[in-house]
Chains A and B, each alone.
Chain A
Amino acid sequence: MANVLWLQGGACSGNTMSFLNAEEPTVVELITDFGLNILWHPTTGLQIGDQVQDLLKDIIAGKVQMDILVFEGSIIQGPNGSGSMNYFADRPMKDWVKELSEVAGYVVAIGDCATWGGIPAVPPNPSDSTGMQFLKKEKGGFLGANYVSKGGLPVINVPGCPAHPDWITQILVAISVGRIGDVLIDEYHRPKTFFTDFVQTGCTNVTNFAQKVDGHFGKRSGCLFYEVGCRGPLTRASCNNILWNRQSSKTRANHPCLGCTEPGFPHHDLMKGSIFKTMKYMGVFPKEVPHGRTKLAYYMEAGFQKVMPKNHKVMEASK
């Protein structure tokens, strides 16, 4: 049993929309079968007649227990630290968050905006947005590097733009059923259970990756790493194991991974030449190489494989 309060700051509601796609369990089952009690949610909040402002005050005063504070969206601090670019219930949202996180059992940041600032924090960061406990790769964010919730954990980061519904529901369930001890977090506070393997694990193009067979938009088969900037080998997420909408993933649909679960998305801050193009040295070598490889070793091996006769099988693709 856990009381959940879900708030949105500088958000697009994409994580809420993703959450509503949850299937095992569904949002309704979370409530009816998994003991989640949603105190309030901007889309699915239901307490007809409840006084939202009073609820927040009661939580802060300790009259209502809040086991989980879910936050979606960036913390908007602008202009000049006032937070007045994002009012909620007659106050800057950031002021509510500060006080609520002091009484929260656990704080779960959902999506890139809440975890590390996301798109709103791309320079020039017009709203002075930051994440709950990180700003891009840098620890600190809004609550500070030393923040821990009453339950003894820092902010649990469930990144993604948006986060996959299962990543969200499973963490909420783990807290609700008392298995939070099984949730290990990495250096970016991501639950390791989802963010240890790379997106490439399970990608249907991985043989082509190994054989250096290039993929392109509108073509069947081929790996997206070499020309259109796939970040699958650099990005930790379960997208090719726990599929999206039960059906697919970006890379299975021939869509380069954008690296949305790594701090810093959108990578290279959208600079010219960084979108759907592999950034290269000397027009040949990818600037960023798969995780855990030195550039030199990777380039030597890749160069060798490129000139090897190609295995015909992997280039075959059929409608």
Chain B
Amino acid sequence: MSVKELNISPVGRVEGDLDVKVYIDNGKVTRAHTQAAMFRGFEKIMAGKDPQSGLIVTPRICGICGGSHLYCASSALDTAWGTKLPPNALLLRAIGQATETIQSIPRWFYAIFATDLANKKYANKPLYGEVVKRWSAYVGTTFQKGLTASGLPVQVYALFGGQWPHSSYMVPGGVMCAPTLKDITRAHAIMTQFKNDWLEPIWLGCSIERYLEIKTWDDMLAWVDENDSQRNSDLGLFIRAGIEFGLDKFGQGVGKFLAYGTYLHKDHYQNPTIEGRNDALISSSGFFDGENWHEFDHLKVSEHVKHSWYDNQEDGLHPWKEPLPTPAKSQTLEDSDFDGQYSWAKAPRYDGYACETGPLARVIMNANPANKDHQINDPLFGDIIKKMGPSVFTRVLARVHEAPRLYNFINQWLSEIDLDGEFYIKPVEKDGKGFGATEAARGALAHWIEIENGVIKNYQVMAPTTWNVGPNDAEGNPGPIESALTGIDIEDPTDPVEVGIVARSFDSCLVCTVHAHDEKSGVELSKFKL
């Protein structure tokens, strides 16, 4: 059978390319391996440098989630130096994080995910024509509107950070900016435009308030059928088409979820500590084992490297104990031995488990009955995960579900800024260890720092993509995408679009190439970019 490479769809990328190799037998994926194919060594670059290096360097790890890296880098220094944070600074950091995340929702949905549903595989489905009409890349009727609207929230980011991407406005002790009334008013106006251009008329087909009344999966289904406007909105269409196309039937993953949580509350984190972080979050942290929620403890995070291209490191070390990376010899996917080292990504584990991170993990934590009053309390995904379990569909629904709430938060936080208050309290620099974390649009992101003799001794970054695309661990347990791919049915092995859809539902921020191989003969069936 001839080998062919198809560029079936675009995806945003960050640390190089992701190659996915799947073996197919009788129309089913029997094994899957993920390979991250680029190394830059940022942690090595920061060693021995100014303790604030992370504020400049880490946003450049990923241009898609640079603001999230900045949120972590400043928090890590806050905990290491024991800074004081004025409420205004906490609000402005939360606004930065939220605007980056909300811009990513339409940008990701239209430019990366939805174009897939226009694949000919679904041509026989009744809703296919409508999907193609709206979501075909560039020419779809709502594609361009969504993409254009995605630039608006980051205009708000720029009002406070100067620019997006790649500002460094969050600094230990607060923020650089001291906005004025005209910045706040303009920010409200830009967000209103985002709502009026896209969020309400095109995406929801109803008011934000109406949407936020949805508390259960049955409510959601009733909402779709409530009127034509909601049924025919892009969200209404996604729900109907998603179920019609069977997206709720595959791509389950590891079934364990981890969120570090984010949006530190203005009144609960003025004295930043690692211990005080969980209770100060507005979007809560936690570990969900499929049945129960557990409190998050960063000391339970570790990384495995048995299958990663790093030498001189033990498996299962906490980031503070990890050495700086020693790159090993890498191979192309073709030449990789999956019993040995095969990826630049490490394999992160929580309490020993591979975990899915991302919007689905976040909204599951939002449903934790133990959440405090100042935290998001939204039972919807507790219900959905019980009734439907994780799948491509639930993952995407979780991603887009955040937009209306974030819109409200951004406006609320803007209105809470006290123009007479402080924005920055100059910290005293000292040696020590720090931990900073957040939720990037695509999942849990954390930085660990150790400062000694006034310079960085160790800096470890663990990105959401690493959690999701990571390889097998030392015990041979697969990473979340590897696991989500295993067992899925492939209709046409020469065009395994299902593989692409599963990988993309994780929003890995890497360009993935999927290589499909026949399990018995080992022959490569197809290869395509996604």
Which A residues form the contact surface with B (CB < 8 A)? 8, 10-18, 20-21, 23, 26, 28, 31, 40-54, 74, 76, 78-79, 84-91, 118-120, 122-127, 129, 161-162, 216-220, 239, 244-256, 258, 266, 269-276, 318-319
Contacts and interface: CB of A to CB of B under 8 A. Distances in A.
Given A45-B10, A276-B52, 18 more contacts: A8-B13, A12-B63, A13-B14, A13-B509, A14-B63, A42-B511, A85-B330, A87-B330, A88-B17, A90-B333, A90-B334, A119-B56, A120-B45, A253-B177, A271-B50, A275-B50, A319-B419, A319-B420
B3 to A, nearest CB: 10
Contact of A162 (B61, B165, B169, B186): B165
B5 interface: yes
19 contacts: A8-B511, A12-B60, A20-B151, A43-B11, A44-B10, A45-B529, A46-B7, A48-B9, A85-B38, A85-B344, A86-B37, A161-B60, A218-B178, A245-B151, A255-B168, A256-B176, A272-B455, A319-B181, A319-B419
B304 interface: no
Given A127-B40, A272-B50, A122 B45 contact: yes
Contacts of A254: 176-178
A124 B44 contact: yes
B62 interface: yes
A250 B167 contact: yes
Contacts of B158: 244-248, 253
B454 interface: yes
B42 interface: yes
A87 B36 CA distance: 9
A223 to B, nearest CB: 14
A245 B62 contact: no
B10 A87 contact: no
Interface string B47-71: 0011111011100111110100000
Contacts of A86: 16, 37-39
Query: Among the interface residues A41, A48, A123, A256, which one has the most CB atoms of the partner chain B within 10 A?
Result: A48
Contacts of B49: 269-272
Nearest to B38: A86
B432 to A, nearest CB: 16
Contacts of B45: 119-120, 122-126, 270
B477 interface: no
Contacts, number: 266
B8 interface: yes
Given A43-B13, A126-B45, A271-B50, A49 B165 contact: no
Interface in B398-429: 419-420, 422-426
Interface of B: 4-17, 37-42, 44-46, 49-53, 55-57, 60-64, 66, 86, 89, 107, 111-112, 137-138, 144, 147-148, 150-151, 154-155, 157-169, 171, 173-178, 180-181, 186, 325, 327, 329-334, 344, 419-420, 422-426, 454-455, 509, 511, 513, 529
Query: Among the interface residues A42, A45, A129, A161, which one has the most CB atoms of the partner chain B within 10 A?
Result: A42
A11 B325 CA distance: 19
Query: Among the interface residues B16, B52, B186, B513, which one has the most CB atoms of the partner chain A within 10 A?
Result: B16
A250 B56 CA distance: 13
B283 to A, nearest CB: 23
Contacts of B161: 253, 255
B57 to A, nearest CB: 6
Contacts of B162: 244, 248-253, 255
A219 B165 CA distance: 23
Contacts of A123: 45
B422 A218 contact: yes
Please name the 4 residue pairs, one residue from A and one from B, whose CB atoms are nearest each other, closest first.
Answer: A14-B63, A218-B424, A126-B41, A244-B163
B169 A255 contact: yes
Given A43-B111, A250-B162, A49 B63 contact: no
Contacts of A48: 6-9
Given A12-B66, A85-B327, A255 B177 contact: yes
Given A126-B44, A129-B40, A275-B56, A43 B10 contact: yes
Contacts of A91: 332
B159 A248 contact: yes
B176 A253 contact: yes
Given A17-B64, A249-B163, A31 B168 contact: no
Nearest to B62: A12
Nearest to B325: A126
A40 B6 CA distance: 12
A126 B55 contact: no
B529 A217 contact: no
B2 to A, nearest CB: 11
B6 A250 contact: no
Contact of A28 (B60, B64, B147, B509): B147
Nearest to B55: A275
Nearest to B425: A218
Given A26-B148, A124-B44, A129-B40, A31 B138 contact: yes
Contacts of A14: 60, 63, 66, 165-166
A283 B174 CA distance: 25
Contacts of A247: 155, 158-159, 186
B151 to A, nearest CB: 5
Contacts of B9: 48
A270 B17 contact: no
Query: Among the interface residues A11, A40, A50, A248, which one has the most CB atoms of the partner chain B within 10 A?
Result: A248
A16 B63 CA distance: 8
